[in-house]
Amino acid sequence: MSKIKVVPCSGIGKVFGLLSREAGLKVTKELCPELCEAVCLARVMTVDDDAKESIEGKTCIAVDGCPKMCAAKTLEAAGGVVKAKFRAVDTMRLHRGEDAGTGTFLTDAGWNMSGELAEQVSEKVKELAKEEA
For ligand SF4, the binding residues (CB under 6 A) are 9, 11, 14, 16-17, 64-66, 68-70
Closest approach of ligand SF4 to the CB of residue 112, in Å: 19
DSSP string, 20-56: HHHHHHHIIIII-TTTEEE--HHHHHTT-HHHHHHHT
Closest approach of ligand SF4 to the CB of residue 84, in Å: 15
35 vs 88, which CB is nearer to ligand SF4?
88
67 vs 97, which CB is nearer to ligand SF4?
67
What is the edge-to-edge ordering of all strands in the sheet holding 59-64? 36-38, 4-8, 59-64, 81-87
Closest approach of ligand SF4 to the CB of residue 66, in Å: 3
Q: Are 63 and 69 in contact (CB under 8 A)?
A: no
14 vs 52, which CB is nearer to ligand SF4?
14
Other CB atoms within 10 Å distance of the CB of residue 14: 14
Closest approach of ligand SF4 to the CB of residue 73, in Å: 9
9 vs 92, which CB is nearer to ligand SF4?
9
Those residues with Cβ within 8 angstroms of residue 128's Cβ, 6 or more apart along the chain or in another chain:
4, 59, 61, 83, 84
